[in-house]
Amino acid sequence: MFGKSKKPARRSTGHYDTLISGKTAIKGDLTFSGGLHVDGVIQGKVVAEEGSDAVIRVSEAGRVEGDIVAPHVIINGAVHGDVYSSAHLELAPKASITGNVYYNLIEMAMGAEVNGNLVHQKEPMGLLNDHSHRKQPASPAPEGDAPESAELNNS
């Protein structure tokens, strides 16, 4: 009533600070804040700045070959890597993910596909804390980055 919508505000209609156009290919990791819209290709990990309310949108023409770590993720293109969304994940009809998906809230349209595991995470901020080392417990962690539980394996 009184002009207020009952649905929560969606970030997908917001403004984007950065555009990777369809004629652009980036090789290397990318860190961003605010809004990132991908029509081109990114070959590397895409990570939102810690503590930001960032949103990444991969359009139907866009492709990411690497992990995505952000609070708000909207995918309608292809992702070959794991996706970590601490707040809201939207998979549009042409979304194609080859990798595991870690999410707090998910919205998935008919036609979207995930070739990997869907893992619900109740702790929204915990998703942004460098999961790249935790998802592969069999591989040794670099010195100084070893998880606390590693001490139990040494006895």
Q: Which residues contact 39 (CB under 8 A, 6 or more apart)?
A: 19, 20, 21, 22, 24, 59, 61, 62
Question: For all residues of the chain together, what is the average pLDDT?
Answer: 80
Torsion-angle region of 70 (φ positive above 0: left; ψ -120 to 50: alpha; else: beta): beta
Ranges of each domain in the chain: 11-129
pTM for the complete prediction?
A: 0.73
pLDDT tens track for 13-67: 467 889 999 999 999 999 999 999 999 999 999 999 998 899 999 999 999 999 9
Q: What is the pLDDT of residue 26?
A: 96
Whether 108 has a pLDDT exceeding 70, the answer reads yes
